[in-house]
A and B are shown apart, each in its own frame.
Chain A
Amino acid sequence: ETGVTQSPTHLIKTRGQQVTLRCSSQSGHNTVSWYQQALGQGPQFIFQYYREEENGRGNFPPRFSGLQFPNYSSELNVNALELDDSALYLCASSLEGQAYEQYFGPGTRLTVT
């Protein structure tokens, strides 16, 4: 059974640029959630995707957007990057109806300069 994987591991971008982060969910999991974790803080919910549709969103601006593909993998896109977007971005997958038990990937460390 393959766990949740994320790419890239690390990324450095300049303010104003756009970034795409990728996530492959655990085998059989059809729900994907994305979280942002600033240094020293707990993860903050960005949004969740289920059956390729957004299924809940946290307090993040529209420049944070996502996609889920038929194979349940997912992308997080952030436009017009700001310095405060520097964080660890975590992807988590779960089974339908069991999004309370989420399996997290190792995260992508994004640095915006």
Chain B
Amino acid sequence: DAKTTQPTSMDCAEGRAANLPCNHSTISGNEYVYWYRQIHSQGPQYIIHGLKNNETNEMASLIITEDRKSSTLILPHATLRDTAVYYCIVLTQGGSEKLVFGKGMKLTVNP
């Protein structure tokens, strides 16, 4: 079972920041937070991951709370192409890593 909870859906205006929340209250000390997204009719795409420090890459920023029980994925300037289902996943690195996807959250970026 997925260890995370996300809202079912969210809307965002094009050009604005999209802040996507995720709760993972049962996360253990060696588990990382991963974000993937799935654009319609495509396979999921890796976005970013982190353990406890905030992370940023060319796609997004990941903010993890100090107690690590929740996180927020930030798309700083959302575009129409960011419309997708976003999955928040917790995972221990090493060994046979299987990604456990929940239902994710549908982000719709509106013009």
Q: How far is the CB of A44 from chain B (nearest CB, A)?
A: 7
B54 close to A (CB within 8 Å): no
Please give, as numbers and ranges, the residues of chain B lying within 8 Å of A101 by CB-CB distance: 46, 49
Residue of A nearest to B43 (CB): A104
Contacts across chains A and B counted by CB atoms under 8 Å:
60
Please give, as numbers and ranges, the residues of chain B lying within 8 Å of A35 by CB-CB distance: 99, 101
Given contacts A56-B96, A100-B93, A101-B49, contact A42 B43 (CB under 8 A): no
Q: How far is the CB of A67 from chain B (nearest CB, A)?
A: 17
Please give, as numbers and ranges, the residues of chain A lying within 8 Å of B99 by CB-CB distance: 33, 35, 43, 45, 92, 100, 102
A48 close to B (CB within 8 Å): yes
CB within 8 Å of A: which B31-83 residues: 32, 34, 41-46, 49
Q: How far is the CB of B34 from chain A (nearest CB, A)?
A: 6
A-B contact pairs, 24 of them (CB 8 A): A4-B43, A33-B99, A41-B103, A42-B2, A42-B85, A43-B44, A43-B101, A44-B101, A48-B96, A50-B96, A55-B96, A58-B98, A90-B43, A97-B94, A100-B32, A100-B34, A100-B49, A100-B93, A100-B97, A101-B49, A102-B46, A104-B42, A104-B44, A107-B42
Residues of B within 8 A of A (CB): 2, 32, 34, 41-46, 49, 85, 87, 91, 93-94, 96-104
